[in-house]
C-alpha cells in the first residue's frame, strides 16, 4: 500500500516546475514545488514592518489548516497555513470592510497553465488602523478556474484585545500530512 502511495505521489510531483510567476497587480508570489508560496497585498493597509509569515511555528502542523493572528498598536497580521493548492498558480489577497465585517479573500489564479502537483501555500495579510475591539471577520478562498464562487473558509470574531492567537480551520489536505 505504501509503495502504491509513493508511486502516485511521484506521478504528482513529476509535473512540477521550478519557475516563478509574478504579477505586480497581486503583490508577490513564489512558484514551483519547492518552498512555501505566499501572497501579500500591497497598497493601502500594508506597512513596512508587516511580516505575518513569522507567526507560523518552525514546525507547523501540516495536517490542520490554521489561521494565525497577532494584533499590536492598531496593526493586525494574519496568515493562513497550510493551504493545499496547485503549484502553478498566481496568488493574491484582498480585503474589504463590508458593513461591520472585514472580508478577506484569498485568490488562486492559474499561471500560464496548471501543473500536476500540489503545494502548501500560505496566504498573509496585514490590516492597519484597526481599533482594539471585538472585530468580525470572514475568510474566503477563490480558485478562479473552478466553476464556483468564493468558498467560505471561516467566519467569526477576533477579540483584538487578546493580542493574538490561532484558529483551527479544519483538515489541510497537505501532502506533508503523512
Which of 7-11, 37-41, 54-58, 140-144 shows the highest mean pLDDT? 140-144
What pLDDT is recorded for position 32? 32
Predicted confidence band of residue 46 (pLDDT cuts 50, 70, 90): low
Predicted confidence band of residue 51 (pLDDT cuts 50, 70, 90): confident
The closest of 115, 124, 145, 126 to 34, measured between CA atoms, is 115
Domain spans, the chain? 2-171
pTM of the model: 0.75
Do residues 95 and 127 touch, judged by C-beta distance below 8 A? yes
Do residues 18 and 111 touch, judged by C-beta distance below 8 A? no
Do residues 81 and 43 touch, judged by C-beta distance below 8 A? no
Residues whose CB is less than 8 angstroms from the CB of residue 47 and which lie 6 or more positions away in sequence, other chains included: 75, 126, 128
Amino acid at each position: 500500500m505504501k509503495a502504491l502511495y509513493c508511486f502516485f505521489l511521484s506521478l504528482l510531483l513529476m509535473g512540477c516546475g521550478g519557475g516563478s510567476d509574478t504579477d505586480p497587480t497581486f503583490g508577490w508570489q513564489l512558484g514551483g514545488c519547492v518552498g512555501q508560496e505566499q501572497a501579500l497585498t500591497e497598497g493601502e493597509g500594508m506597512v513596512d514592518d508587516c511580516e505575518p509569515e513569522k507567526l507560523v511555528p518552525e514546525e507547523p502542523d501540516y495536517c490542520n489548516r490554521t489561521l494565525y493572528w497577532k494584533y499590536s498598536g492598531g496593526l493586525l497580521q494574519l496568515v493562513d497555513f497550510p493551504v493545499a493548492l496547485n503549484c502553478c498558480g498566481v496568488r493574491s489577497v484582498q480585503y474589504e470592510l463590508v458593513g461591520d465585517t472585514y472580508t478577506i479573500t484569498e485568490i488562486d489564479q492559474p499561471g500560464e497553465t496548471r501543473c500536476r502537483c500540489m503545494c502548501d501555500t500560505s496566504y498573509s495579510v496585514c490590516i492597519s488602523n484597526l481599533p482594539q475591539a471585538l472585530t468580525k471577520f470572514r475568510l474566503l478562498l477563490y480558485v478562479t478556474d473552478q466553476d464556483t464562487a468564493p468558498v467560505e473558509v471561516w467566519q467569526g470574531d477576533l477579540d483584538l484585545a487578546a493580542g493574538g492567537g490561532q484558529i483551527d480551520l479544519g483538515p489541510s489536505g497537505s501532502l506533508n500530512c503523512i
